[in-house]
Each structure stands twice: as C-alpha cells, then as structure tokens.
Chain A
C-alpha cells in the first residue's frame, strides 16, 4: 500500500516541479492571447492582436532574420568543430589529453558577462564588433562544447573495431571517415545541429555586448522591455520559446533514435 501511495505522491511532486518551472512561460503564453494591456486576472477576451502588432514591426522581422542567420551559421560551425574535437578525443591518445578536454569544455563555465566583455574587447580590436560575424563567432565559442559533448557521447557507444574493420576491408582513412564514422554519428550530428542552433537562438548576454545594431531577438526583447510594458513581448517570447523547444525536442528525438538502434541483447539461433 505504501508503495502505491509513494508512487502517487512522487507523481504529484513531479507534476508540481514541472508546474513551478513552466508556470512563468505558461503565463506569458496565456497573456500573449489576452486582449488586456496589463497582465491581470480575470483575463480579457482572446486576441491575436499582439502577434499581429509584433510581426508587422520591421524591426522584429530584422531581429528574427539576424537570429536565424546567426543560429544557422553557429549550428554548422560549432557542430563541425565539435565533431573534430570529439573525434580527436576518440581516436588519439596524447600526453595533454585531459587538459585538451578541459579546455574544449571550458566556455560554458565562464560567466556570460565576462565572456561578453572579453569578446567585445577582442572583436573590436580586430574590427569586427557590432557585426553579425561577431555574434556568430561568440556564439560558436559558446555552443561548440555542447556539440562536442553530444557527438563524443555517440562515439563512446561505437565499437572501436568498427573503424579498424573499415580499414581492414579496404577503406582509406578518409573512406572510413565518410563511410563509417560519419554515418554512425549521423543522429548525433543532427542532434548537435539542433542543440547548438537553440543555444545561439536563446543567448542574450554575449549577443548584447557584441551585436551592435544587428540585434538578435533576445537583445531586441530587452530593448522593448526597457521602454515600456508591452504585451507584444509575450507574443514574441512565445514564438522564441516554441522555436527553441522544437529544436531541443528534435535533438532529444535523435538521441532516443540512437539508443534504440543499439544492438539488442544477443539472441541465439
């Protein structure tokens, strides 16, 4: 009896945790369809007015375009670099490997404000501050460790004999890379692309430092908020949230696919 009661209790607890985490986002979602200007209960009537208002503003479109351009480039760059880093770790043993790995995983542990300032200082020295390229470079630095972690996990599930088997069957190093390593890592690469795009799409602090006039969506949201309380924010926030969630869920789906694909337990004839 206690087991069953415990199970129910732990479910209630889990539900409460999720409610706590998602309540602010849910509130923003609900108020984005609310006709009242100020978020208050009782709600007014249902409206798409704030969405119409937000997306008739060319600045919002510009910000979304910038964000998408940045997110797309960051996804490609950081996944490529992350893959190379992870493969190096998988394939080679060398003296300073722990240091190499620690460095590769370092960026997310640096406070974003520090990172933003450092990026601004450096990029302005090379004449890139305030450009879209600056945002892409900064976000690539931030997102690469995520890509590396996802691909490294996948490579750790690979039988090391697989690559040697490819050489043994006549594949050159590049042939084995193309015909064995890349196909094996396929799901993880797609997962890394989604995840790094989401990291970039959501990132505010560093982008705020280096973006200049090329505002990304989170930077633009802050600027609107600084001016006034505008329910447009709820509408834009909802779109941003859905975009990121879609990317993260896609990344997760790829992770699930790959664990299902692992060889089943040995069966006998």
Chain B
C-alpha cells in the first residue's frame, strides 16, 4: 500500500518544560475528512500548526506525501489553513484576499483574477468581489476565507475551529457547505474543533485528544457508542460513568450479565471476562437512560432527586442526583416529559437496560 498523505511519526512538541503533544503517531489518507477533537489545551491546534509548519516539532517527523517536512518552511508547504479568526486581510478587498496565495506564487494578474472570481462564484460569493472584508456578514467572510485557501487547489485543507465564531443556524449551513466541498474536491480535510456535533456530523474519522495524547481514533459512531476509555466517555456525548467492582461475573439465570457493586448500588452490566473483585467502570449514554415517576421494573434502577433541566432542541436533558450524591444525566424526548413531575427536588426513578452499559477498559483509570 502506498504511503498515506500525512504521517505523524512519533511527533513530540515541547514548549520549555511543558509538553503540548506527547509522541503522536497518526496517519491521514488522501481524501479523508479527519476531525481532531478535544478540550482546549489538548494539543489539537498545535498538531495542526505542526502540519502547516507554523510550529517546529521537538521530536519525530511529519511526512506529507512521503516527504519529510521537518525542515520545510511554512511558506513552502501547500497546506492552506482556515483560521478560527478567519484572518482575512482587512486592507484588501474580497477578490484581492482570494488572490493572495496566487500572488505569492507569482501567478500573473489576469490569471489569478480569473481563478479568484471562479472560486468566489463556486462558493456563492459572486458580486462581492470589490467589497471590503468588513462589509461582509460572518457567513460571507467564512466563504471568502474558504475561497482564499482553496484557490491554489491544494491537496489538503486545514481548518482550525472555523465555525466557532458563527451563529448556531449558520454553523449547520456551513457544515453542509464544507462536507459538500470536501466530497466534490476529493481533497483531505483536517478539521480541529472542540465541538462534538461539528466533528461527528462531518468527519469520516475522529481523533479524540486529551492532554497531548490521542485517546481514541475511529469513525464517529464507534467513538460515540464505544468510548475507548473514561476520558473519551466523559468528553464525547453525555455519558454517565459508574465505578465499582465486579461481584458476580455473569452467573444470572441467562448467564448474560455480570453484576457490579458501586456507590449507587448493584448494577447489572454486560458480561465480561473480569473476575470477581475486579475494579470496573461503565458508561451509560444519557439518551439510554429512562426516567419515570414511579419505581420501574428494570434491573438497574436508582431513586433520584431532580436538580435541573436543560433544553436541547427537541429533547431535554435532566440532571439528577443519585443517593450517593453523584450526578446522573438523562436525555428525554418532549413526549416522555409529560408524565413527570419536573419541580426541582422532585423524586424520580432512573433506569436502563443492562445492555445499554458500555464497559470501559482500564478499570477505574
């Protein structure tokens, strides 16, 4: 198999005594849409900047199309980036902004004008060529920034939280624009974000980073349903995490479930190879948790006190307190809410099927 487009080979980045990226090994294929995701300070932006040559690597090497890039200056790489602040040049008009990359490459005036106008049209910005950048709306400036990066027809596009400054309804629209562009152009997108919804909606593969390390790599569905460790489970989605130890490794009548005991009581979990007495933690996605007014039949049930609720579009997230003081999140549809007493402090039951629990490797790690 030929070398992937991008290879991070044991890359380390240190700032003085702080290690921002710890031994990163990552490959990105041609035409792939990869999202680097993680909380702020996890090293995702540093990784992107090393790819663009804006930060030097402390150890290891970055290869693009098989070529070692460690000593290649930023301006000699073909890795255009869309910036969080967009970084449009305020003293140039829209067309001149888009032409910038071509001008730096010495493309002659008529040709670069033609290509800039072509890209602006492609992104639905015809008629704005002579506008000043500060006369554009947020979404329009986004399109100009995209046109400016794509006009040189690069093999990959780097995006650093490009939608962070936009209104919610525009974010969804720009997500559509970006996915469509990526499919049409067939080029690699490396997308840095802390927003799970952006990463999961667009990316083929998600790289979850925490504290300078890759915590999990995989398709969005897989990362969402099967978090590889506690960090991912807490960062991705709305997971409830329960810790405890195995008291019975799968001896119920059906032999299907094991039992663990923890601060919230005994819980039935998917049978595992763990021996009795082993420490274990499980993640239960908030949308798999049911909430009822009266005590349910389910094996896993906990009497809780309602703390607060949060509206997320069509669904609502209830924050409840378990008897041991831990917080449990439950995501419910509007219809399910009608039967419940939602005054703060109300007594409610939460329950879930044993199969909804996802066993986290590494015990309580």
Cβ of B91 and Cβ of A183 under 8 Å apart? Answer: yes
Cβ of B85 and Cβ of A159 under 8 Å apart? Answer: yes
Q: Is A162 among interface residues, defined by CB-CB distance under 8 A?
A: yes
Cβ of B104 and Cβ of A175 under 8 Å apart? Answer: yes
Alpha-carbon gap, A166 to B85, bound state (A) = 14
Q: Is A264 among interface residues, defined by CB-CB distance under 8 A?
A: yes
Alpha-carbon gap, A112 to B81, bound state (A) = 51
Q: Which residues of A contact B (CB under 8 A)?
A: 159, 161-162, 164-172, 175, 179-180, 183-184, 186, 261-264, 266-269
Cβ of B75 and Cβ of A171 under 8 Å apart? Answer: yes
Alpha-carbon gap, A162 to B89, bound state (A) = 7
Q: B165: nearest residue on chain A (CB-CB)?
A: A266
For A167, give its contact among B75, B89, B139, B165 (CB under 8 Å).
Answer: B75
For A164, give its contact among B54, B76, B105, B167 (CB under 8 Å).
Answer: B54
**How far is the CB of A100 from the nearest CB of chain B, in Å?**
20
Q: Is B354 among interface residues, defined by CB-CB distance under 8 A?
A: no
Segment at the interface with A among B130-138, B189-197, B204-212: B130-138
Tell me which residues from 113 to 147 in chain B have a Cβ below 8 Å from any Cβ of chain A. 133-140
Known: A168-B81, A171-B104. Contact between A161 and B137, CB under 8 A?
Answer: no
For A170, give its contact among B133, B138, B152, B170 (CB under 8 Å).
Answer: B152
A162: chain B residues at CB < 8 Å are 87, 89
Cβ of B75 and Cβ of A268 under 8 Å apart? Answer: no
Alpha-carbon gap, A269 to B90, bound state (A) = 19
Cβ of B90 and Cβ of A180 under 8 Å apart? Answer: no
Alpha-carbon gap, A261 to B79, bound state (A) = 30
Cβ of A269 and Cβ of B137 under 8 Å apart? Answer: yes
Q: Is B249 among interface residues, defined by CB-CB distance under 8 A?
A: no
Some 8 contacts from A to B, beta carbons below 8 A apart, are A166-B100, A170-B104, A172-B75, A261-B91, A266-B138, A266-B165, A269-B139, A269-B170
Tell me which residues from 72 to 87 in chain B have a Cβ below 8 Å from any Cβ of chain A. 73-76, 79-81, 83-85, 87
Alpha-carbon gap, A264 to B90, bound state (A) = 11
Cβ of A269 and Cβ of B140 under 8 Å apart? Answer: yes
Cβ of A268 and Cβ of B134 under 8 Å apart? Answer: no
**How far is the CB of A245 from the nearest CB of chain B, in Å?**
28
Cβ of A161 and Cβ of B85 under 8 Å apart? Answer: yes
Cβ of A168 and Cβ of B134 under 8 Å apart? Answer: no
Q: Is B101 among interface residues, defined by CB-CB distance under 8 A?
A: yes
Most chain B beta-carbon neighbours within 10 Å: one of A261, A264, A267, A269:
A269
